[in-house]
Every structure is written in C-alpha cells, then in structure tokens.
Amino acid sequence: MSGTSDKIKGLANQAVGNVKQGVGKVTGDEKLQVKGKIQEKKGEAQEVVGKVKDAVDKD
C-alpha cells in the first residue's frame, strides 16, 4: 500500500488550490480564494497521509 499516489494527488490539489487563490485575487472573487485555500489544505493533508503510508510500509 504505497503512499506515492496520495502524495501525487496531494501535490496536485495544492497546485490547483494555489491557482484558484491567484485567480480569485486577480478577479476579486473571495469565494474562489477560499475554495483555493481549502483545496490547498486538503492537498497538504493528503500528502501527509501518503508520507505516513510510506513510513509504515518501510517498517
């Protein structure tokens, strides 16, 4: 049970979240900024899950 998939998905969510935040700032869309921040945090958590899975697999 590799955590690589979770880490990749996490990084992708972080990237998309950052883009949403940037677009939200440029357009003045506060809802989009918030959605981007939420997606970024989701991605960070997902990446951590992947790292934990990898650490468990090594033991």
Domains in the chain: how many in total? 1
The residue behind tokens 């918030």 is: 34
Provide the pLDDT for residue 1. Answer: 58
Provide the pLDDT for residue 57. Answer: 85
Question: pLDDT digit of tens for each residue in the chain (59 aa)?
Answer: 579 999 999 999 999 999 999 999 999 999 999 999 999 999 999 999 999 999 998 87
**Hey, what are 55's tokens?**
């650490």
pTM for this entry: 0.86
User: DSSP characters for the chain?
Assistant: --SHHHHHHHHHHHHHHHHHHHHHHHHT-HHHHHHHHHHHHHHHHHHHHHHHHHHHHH-
| Domain that includes residue 20, residue range | 4-58
